[in-house]
Structures are given as C-alpha cells and as structure tokens.
DNA sequence: ACCCTAGTTTATAATTATTCTAAAGTGAAA
DNA sequence: TTTCACTTTAGAATAATTATAAACTAGGGT
C-alpha cells in the first residue's frame, strides 16, 4: 500500500492524517504479508525504525482508532497482552505458544463439516479456529 | 463429586487438602455442569456463599495449583481477564461477547474436514474452535 | 496567509489484573 | 506432641492498559 492510499485510508475513516498516524499506518500497512503484533512489540519496532519517538499512549490511541475503523482486528491468544492483526478478513490461525507467534490460515484452508446450532435466541457471528502448535 | 473424592483429588496431585483448597475445590468440582470463571468472579461467588473469607492471593494460588495439576484448564477469550474451565477434556466453546459467557461444545459436535498441515518442523498440538455469538 | 478550534498528542497519574514477598499459620509425618 | 515444609495472607510490586488534562496542530473559514 502506497502513501497516497494511506492518506486516503485515514481520511475515509474520519481520522486526521497526523504525522504519528501516518507513520504508524505506513509501518503497519505498507507490507505484503499479514502482521501480528502487540502494542508493546509495535512500540519497540517503531522506536527502532523511526527517528521521532511516538508516545506510548499515542500508539494505544492509534491502534484502537485503526481497529474501530476496521483497519485492524484483534486476535485472542493466551496471555495477558492484546494481539492485533493487519488481516481483517475472516481467517484462522496457527498459534505457536513457544514463540507466541501467530500464523494466518486462509479461511478456505479450513472446512468445517459440522457445528452445533446456536443456543436459544442467539445467532452465530463467526467461527474461529485456532491450531495450537508444538515442536 | 463428593467430599471424599475431593480429598482424594487433592492428595493424589500432591496438594495438601487445606481448609481453603477444600472449600474452593468443593465449590468448583461438586457440580454437574462445566463451570467457566475468572479469578474475580470466583472470588465474588466464594465471598457470597461462604462464611470464612479466603484471601485473593490464595484464590490465585489455588486456581493455578489446580490448573497445574490438570483439574482446571484455561480458556482464551477476548478481554483482559483469564478464564478457567472445570472441563479439562478436549472440547470447544460458544462465546457470547455480550455477556462474556462461555458455553461448552462437545468435541464430537464439531467435525473438521480439512485443516492445513503444520508449518515446517512444527506439529499440531490441538485444534480449538470458537463460535462467536450475536443476538 | 492567518485564525480558530476541534481533534490529537503527550507526560503522567490512575486503574486493573496478576504476581511477589515475607511473616504468620497449619497439616501431617514421625 | 513436636516439628517443619508447605500454605495462607496482607500488602507491595509489576505489567498492561486507560484516563486526565495541558500543549500542540491540521485544516476549514476568513
Ligand atoms: Mn486473553
Ligand atoms: Mn487477551
Ligand atoms: Zn491473522
Ligand atoms: Zn469449557
């Protein structure tokens, strides 16, 4: 994704393209493959890569703003930190608890033959599959 | 599960059956259906139900001891708190994010027809399915 | 171009969940 | 009974996240 698209992406979701947001967005979205991260890891990587340091609170604010805008999704993994995902399409994950690493699985690579019907009065929003790995 | 079995369960896993552990174990394991809880919710319920109050640190200690002994499992759900589960068999969950409620799904009620092979050098430990609910 | 202001960033405090510490208490082996 | 390793406990410490409120800024209106 190019910088012009980054600006479009921000503006179209009502987010003023500030220096900090553009820098974070470029870091997150100008890449080929899905990126999974925690706020802590993102902060470290940004600090390493970039000259100007962005306040931690801003990283929290920005990541949440991007999530609310639908540009990031949140992935549930065991542990105390919240994981985010640049892949916002419906998909599944391998999870390697040794390395705390997530790997995407395309929705088409998992076929579920049978699931129970939702409880009374509830509907199924989506189905998430986690394949936990070991060595 | 009866009290005598509770004592057996504790002793057989090298846990001295103290007053606090027995009380928590009875609360958790003397029931028909699976119980999903957080330390906070367990603490509230124990305080309400019981006369003697157990220190929060003891509840943390005990829950972890039970988990290590294989009497509880940990369930990953979105959010900041850790969820525990008295069902330690391989099974799946409905998750109602409105109520933060987990509902068991028997392993046999989910049939997965196709999953990708594990990444290089890794093996599949287990597969967990989460069915997220809406109203 | 300059103002103006709502939106944003920032340092820091506050909150929440959990773990650590170390002193006091206790189950059970001998 | 005595003894002591194990356990409980209150409170401090840590870790992740959110709240606060003052300073800053993007960008529409003039
Ligand atoms: Mn979690
Ligand atoms: Mn989490
Ligand atoms: Zn992903
Ligand atoms: Zn369960």
CA distance B47 to B55: 10
CA B15 to C1' C30, whole Å? 20
User: Which residue from A10, A28, A128 is spatially nearest to A87, judged by alpha carbons?
Assistant: A28
B116 lies within 8 A of chain A by CB: yes
3-class DSSP state of A43 = helix
Distance between CA atoms of residues A23 and A46, nearest Å: 9
Q: Could you tell me if B85 and B102 are in contact, meaning their C-beta atoms sit under 8 angstroms apart?
A: yes
Mean pLDDT of chain B: 94
Cβ separation of B118 and A77 shorter than 8 Å?
no
- Provide the pLDDT for residue A116: 97
Q: Report, as an integer, the average pLDDT of B93-101.
A: 90
**pLDDT attached to residue B99:** 86
CA distances, A40 to each of A26, A71, B9, B46, B104 (Å): 18, 19, 40, 35, 33
The mean pLDDT of B57-82, rounded to a whole number, is 94
pLDDT tens digits for range B48-69: 988 789 999 999 999 999 999 9
Spatial contact of B93 and B103, defined as CB atoms under 8 Å apart: yes
Contact B74 A74 (CB under 8 A): no
pLDDT of the residue at A4: 64
Predicted model pTM: 0.91
Instruction: Quote the CA–CA distance of A32 and A132 in Å, as a whole number.
Output: 25
Q: Which positions on strand D lie below 7 Å from a protein C-beta?
A: 6-11, 15-20, 25-27
Tell me, rounded to whole angstroms, the distance of Cα B54 from its chain centroid.
Answer: 19
Alpha carbon distance A128, A107 (integer Å): 9
Tell me whether B119 touches chain A (CB under 8 Å). Answer: yes
B111 touches strand D (CB under 7 A): no
User: What's the rounded Cα separation, in Å, for the pair B117 and B128?
Assistant: 15
Q: What distance in Å separates residue A112's CA from the closest CA in chain B?
A: 4
Question: Is B131 close to A122, i.e. CB distance below 8 A?
Answer: no
The closest CB to that of A134, out of B125, B127, B133, belongs to B125
Q: What is the pLDDT of residue A108?
A: 97
> What is the set of domains in chain A, with CATH numbers?
3-133 (1.10.10.10)
- The residue that leads in pLDDT, A58 or B100, is A58
Which pLDDT band holds residue B4 (cuts at 50, 70, 90)? low
The pLDDT value given to residue A51: 75
Record: contact B129-A116, CB cut-off 8 A: no
Nucleotide nearest to B17 (CA to C1'): C27
Distance between CA atoms of residues A58 and A44, nearest Å: 14
Check whether B118 has a pLDDT greater than 80. Answer: yes
Instruction: Flag residues of chain A having pLDDT under 50.
Output: none
Alpha-carbon torsion (A127, A65, A84, A18), positive or negative: positive
| Whether B110 and A110 lie within 8 Å, measured CB to CB | no
Average pLDDT score over residue span B97-121: 94
What b/e sequence results for A96-129 when a residue is b if at least 16 CB atoms lie within 10 Å of its CB, and e otherwise? beeeeebbbbeeeebeeeebeebeeebeeeebbb
Residues A95 and A59: beta-carbon distance below 8 Å: no
Say yes or no: B33 contacts chain A, CB-CB below 8 A.
Answer: no
Q: How many CB atoms lie within 10 A of CB A37?
A: 22
Does A60 contact B at CB distance below 8 Å?
Answer: no
Q: Name chain B contacts of A77, Cβ cutoff 8 Å.
A: 76
pLDDT at position B29 over 70: yes
Angstroms from B123 CA to nearest CA on chain A = 5
């Amino acid at each position: 994704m190019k910088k012009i698209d980054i600006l479009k992406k921000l503006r179209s979701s009502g987010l003023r393209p500030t220096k900090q947001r553009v820098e974070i967005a470029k870091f997150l979205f100008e890449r080929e493959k899905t990126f999974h991260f925690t706020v802590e890891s993102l902060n470290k990587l940004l600090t390493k890569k970039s000259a100007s340091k962005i306040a931690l609170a801003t990283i929290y604010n920005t990541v949440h703003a991007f999530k609310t805008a639908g540009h990031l999704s949140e992935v549930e993994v065991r542990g105390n930190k919240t994981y985010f995902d640049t892949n916002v399409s419906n998909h599944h994950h391998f999870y390697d608890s040794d390395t705390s690493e997530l790997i995407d699985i395309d929705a088409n690579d998992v076929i579920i033959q049978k699931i129970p019907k939702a409880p009374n009065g509830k509907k199924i929003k989506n189905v998430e599959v986690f394949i936990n790995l070991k060595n």
